């Protein structure tokens, strides 16, 4: 039957209220929705928007304390800054592009310059309340889903200046969500590190930092400190800290105006350049950048007006003018510090010289690996690339992904089901080498691991990564879990920054298919399977033993718009080596005991 055409006339043109547009196109304003199981989910973005406003007050020298509480779904934030001007309280939380951050004299360093923040929180909350106090007077307004319910003026001479915001994320928008304490507390710790002198109180727990980025690195490194004391420099617009470790590669925590730039950007590049120049000037040498930075862990934060980011997610700074002042500032601070700390300087230069020696020794191994690969095949074996790379379509860079999957059967199904423009498939031959405890040359000598490097484009530098997402796609059985752990060991040991930047994911596919002649449901857990069996009459249940048993037609659903990806995240650098040592090391008795205990717990 032919589809009836809908008239495109004046009646088809709609004008949405701005807050209604936020509810209709939520992703444009806060990114992903999620259910609270990921720290980037929308409910945490709402909290960030409110706390950011309180942080801006502290940055401007107003208010050294922020009090945050959570009771069930609802969150409150109280700062002790200047307070929103009372006559503009309602406008500031309900009218788009209204706020004080357009005025550089009032707010000099802020990420959110578009006047949207609290408007989005208001529009996406079941209940939203704001109170502002200024000089003994107060203004209160209550909203529901962006619509004002009540406003009142009152005198409160005993209340200190500041702003209070309470909100409850709307379940019509976010569904069945749940807050996770670890994500909230992690964010608050970073706020404290980036704002020395600020005290954040969350449900009775205090977060504060005296030494800023030095404290951040110390916490991340934990019981495994660097090779020497952490170098720390703090200026008006630039702060940085660094040390070397025994790990491979380099790892950074970078920020702009308090915004975590997970993919770095021009400020991070300028920091790296200034560090290299400073060390070479002090040593009167010409060390290569990779030799200076291998094993380096650094943190850098800058405060700049009107920052330019490379994407909506603000995870990479694009402002080019920062290099001119960051490079010389870092160079000078490093030179002075090394002169003041001769013992540390000696340790650092010894590490760099050792890196240089290892790089030269590794060069011959790399050369042999390249020659071996050329003899094997012109193209990378087992890689089915996507048109994004074949056609160099840069505009879809953030959508590109590569799936590392086990076996030709699963790989073949995924090749037929994928989006040929943005999804590449790399089929593993079998179980990868357990590279825990091995030196770096092992991944060049092992054909499988070397080809993974080539496929990802990270043979020489992580900056050459060819895909935004590296997705581990293995069967939901014991062998599949083992392969997943082997690949994670590979990435965490040799390419830890790849994980830290948020590029590594786990692909989730259903364990069961429950269906009858009228309905089909795919279930990802035992609980979902049980519920489906109770709700579907005379169900037929199929247990997918592996990805290869999922037909290309079915696989297309799971690789499309409804794809389920779990981002691999590190709680702290110090936890990585402990976890790898426990799960992939030689402590067989302890690991066996752990498995047995957890199996018993699951069956009770």
Would you kindly state where each structural domain of the chain is located, as residue ranges?
18-207, 213-358, 379-509+544-570, 512-543, 573-604
Confidence bin at 37 (pLDDT 50/70/90): confident
Give the pLDDT score at 287: 96
Q: pLDDT by residue (tens digit) across 168-192?
A: 999 999 999 999 999 999 999 999 9
Total residue count of the chain as it appears in this document: 604
Q: Compute the average pLDDT of residues 390-403.
A: 68
Which runs of consecutive H residues, i.e. helices, occur in 458-570?
478-494, 496-500, 526-535, 552-558
**Choosing from 406, 419, 496, 497, which is the catalytic residue?**
406
What is the C-alpha to C-alpha distance for residues 318 and 310, in angstroms, rounded to an integer? 5
Q: Percent of the chain, pLDDT > 70?
A: 88
Stretch (H or E) spanning 52: helix 42-59
Among residues 361, 479, 535, 540, which one is catalytic? 479
Burial pattern 443-470, b for ≥16 Cβ within 10 A else e, equals: bbebebbbbbbbbbbbbeebeebbbbbb
* Active-site annotation holder among 477, 526, 540, 575: 477
Residue 113, pLDDT above cutoff 50:
no
CA 265/CA 254 separation, integer angstroms = 9
CA–CA gap between residue 157 and residue 139 (Å, rounded): 13
Nearest one of 598, 599, 579, 576 to 587, comparing CA atoms = 579
- What average pLDDT score do residues 94-121 get? 60
Adjacent-strand bridge partners of 514: 521, 541
456: Cβ contacts below 8 Å, ≥ 6 apart? 402, 465, 466, 467, 470
Question: Which CATH fold would you assign to the domain 379-509+544-570?
Answer: Rossmann fold (3.40.50)
Beta strands across the sheet bearing 401-406: 383-384, 423-428, 401-406, 469-473, 504-508, 564-567
What is the residue-averaged pLDDT of the chain? 86
Q: What is the pLDDT of residue 311?
A: 65
Question: b/e string for 276-300 if b means 16 or more Cβ within 10 A?
Answer: bbbbbebbeeebeeebbbbbbbbbb
Residue 253 has pLDDT above 80, yes or no: yes
pLDDT value of position 103: 47
pLDDT of residue 11: 54
Residue 407's alpha-carbon distances to 383, 411, 432, 511, 547, in angstroms, are: 12, 6, 12, 18, 9
Q: How confident is the model at residue 108 (pLDDT cuts 50, 70, 90)?
A: low
Separation CA 41–CA 178 (nearest Å): 10
Cα 546 to Cα 527: distance, rounded to the nearest angstrom: 19
Place of tokens 């794809």: 563
User: What are 324's two structure tokens?
Assistant: 């001119």
Rounded mean pLDDT, 264-284: 96
Q: Is the pTM of this model over 0.85?
A: no
Dihedral over Cα of 403, 585, 501, 73: its sign: positive
Q: Are strands 147-155 and 137-144 parallel, antiparallel or unpaired?
A: antiparallel
Burial (CB < 10 A; 0-12, 13-18, 19+), residue 566, is middle
Tens-digit pLDDT profile for residues 572-590: 776 777 777 777 777 667 6
Query: For position 491, what pLDDT does the model report?
Result: 94
Give the pLDDT confidence score for residue 6 in this predicted structure. Answer: 56
Q: Are 30 and 42 in contact (CB under 8 A)?
A: yes
Largest CA distance in the chain: 83
Mean pLDDT of 106-130: 73
Residue in the structure block whose two tokens are 């959570």: 70
How many Å apart are CA 544 and CA 515, to the nearest integer? 14
**pLDDT band of 5, cuts 50, 70, 90:** low
Quick one: pLDDT band at residue 73, thresholds 50, 70, 90?
A: very high
- 475 is an active site residue: yes
- Residue 441 annotated in active site: no
CA–CA gap between residue 454 and residue 466 (Å, rounded): 10
Mean pLDDT computed over 353-360: 93
Annotation says 421 is catalytic = no
Q: Say which CATH architecture domain 213-358 belongs to.
A: 2-Layer Sandwich (3.30)
DSSP code string of 123-187: HTEEEEEEEEEETTEEEEEEEETTEEEEEEEEE-TTSPSEEEEEEEE-HHHH-S----HHHHHHH
Q: Which of 52, 73, 475, 496 is catalytic?
A: 475
User: Which of the four pLDDT bands, split at 50, 70 and 90, describes residue 598?
Assistant: low
User: In this model, does residue 111 exceed pLDDT 90?
Assistant: no
CATH topology of domain 18-207: Heat Shock Protein 90 (3.30.565)
477 is catalytic: yes
Are β-strands 251-256 and 199-202 bridged in parallel, bridged antiparallel, or unpaired? unpaired
Structure confidence at residue 531 (pLDDT): 92
Identify the pLDDT of residue 603.
Answer: 35
What are the start-end ranges of the H helices in 309-461?
323-340, 342-376, 387-390, 407-417, 442-445, 447-456
* pLDDT score of 47: 94
What are the strands, taking DSSP E only, across 235-346? 238-244, 251-256, 259-260, 296-302
| pLDDT at residue 1, as a whole number | 43
* pLDDT at residue 524 greater than cutoff 80: yes
Q: Say if 18-207 and 379-509+544-570 have the same CATH topology.
A: no
User: β-pairing, 520-523 with 423-428?
Assistant: unpaired
Residue 140 pLDDT exceeds 90 = yes
């Amino acid at each position: 039957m032919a589809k009836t055409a809908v008239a495109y006339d004046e009646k088809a043109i709609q004008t949405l209220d701005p807050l209604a547009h936020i509810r209709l196109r939520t992703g444009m304003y806060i990114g992903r929705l999620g259910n609270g199981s990921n720290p980037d989910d929308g409910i945490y973005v709402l909290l960030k928007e409110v706390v950011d406003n309180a942080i801006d007050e502290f940055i401007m020298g107003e208010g050294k304390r922020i009090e945050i509480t959570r009771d069930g779904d609802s969150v409150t934030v109280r700062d002790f800054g200047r307070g929103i001007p009372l006559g503009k309280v309602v406008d500031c939380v309900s009218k788009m592009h209204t706020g004080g951050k357009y005025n550089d004299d009032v707010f000099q360093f802020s990420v959110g310059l578009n006047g949207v923040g609290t408007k989005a929180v208001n529009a996406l909350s079941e209940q939203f309340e704001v109170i502002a106090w200024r000089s003994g007077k107060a203004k209160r307004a209550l909203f529901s889903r962006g619509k004002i319910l009540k406003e009142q003026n009152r005198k409160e001479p005993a209340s200190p200046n500041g702003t209070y915001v309470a909100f409850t994320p709307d379940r019509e928008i976010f569904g069945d969500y749940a807050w996770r304490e670890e994500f909230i507390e992690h964010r608050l710790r970073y706020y404290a590190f980036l704002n020395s002198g600020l005290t954040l109180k969350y449900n009775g727990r205090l977060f504060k930092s005296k030494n800023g980025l030095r404290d951040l690195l110390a916490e991340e490194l934990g019981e495994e400190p660097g090779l020497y004391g952490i170098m720390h420099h703090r200026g008006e617009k630039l702060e940085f800290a660094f040390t070397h470790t025994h790990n491979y590669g380099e790892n950074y925590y970078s920020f702009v105006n308090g915004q975590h730039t997970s993919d770095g950007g021009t400020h991070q590049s300028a920091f790296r350049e200034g560090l290299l120049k400073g060390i070479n000037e002090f040593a009167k040498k010409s060390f290569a950048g990779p030799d200076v930075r291998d094993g380096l862990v650094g943190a850098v934060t800058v405060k700049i007006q009107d920052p330019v980011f490379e994407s909506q997610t603000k995870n990479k700074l694009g402002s080019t003018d920062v290099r001119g002042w960051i490079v010389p500032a870092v160079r000078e601070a490093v030179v002075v510090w090394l002169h003041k700390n001769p013992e540390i300087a000696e340790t650092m230069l010894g590490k760099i010289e050792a890196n240089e020696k290892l790089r030269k020794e590794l060069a011959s191994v790399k050369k042999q690996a390249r020659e071996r690969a050329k003899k094997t095949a012109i193209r990378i074996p087992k890689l089915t690339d996507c048109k994004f790379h074949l056609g160099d379509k840069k505009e879809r860079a953030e959508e590109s992904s590569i799936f590392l999957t086990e076996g030709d059967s699963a790989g073949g199904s995924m090749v037929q089901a994928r989006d040929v423009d943005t999804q590449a498939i790399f089929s593993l031959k079998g179980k990868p080498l357990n590279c825990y405890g091995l030196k770096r040359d092992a991944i060049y000598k092992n054909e499988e691991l070397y080809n993974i490097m080539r496929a990802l484009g990270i043979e020489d530098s992580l900056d050459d990564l060819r895909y935004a997402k590296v997705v581990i796609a293995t069967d939901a059985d014991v062998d599949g879990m083992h392969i997943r752990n082997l690949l994670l060991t590979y990435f965490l040991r040799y390419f830890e920054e790849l994980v830290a930047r948020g590029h590594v994911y786990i692909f989730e596919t259903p364990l069961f298919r429950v269906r009858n002649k009228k309905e089909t449901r795919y279930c990802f857990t035992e609980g979902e399977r049980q519920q489906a069996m109770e709700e579907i009459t005379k169900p037929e249940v199929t247990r997918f033993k592996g990805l290869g048993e999922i037909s290309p037609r079915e696989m297309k659903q799971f690789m499309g718009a409804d794809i389920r990806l779990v981002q691999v995240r590190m709680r702290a650098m110090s936890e990585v080596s402990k976890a790898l040592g426990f799960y992939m090391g030689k402590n067989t008795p302890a690991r066996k005991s752990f498995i047995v205990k957890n199996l018993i717990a699951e069956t009770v």
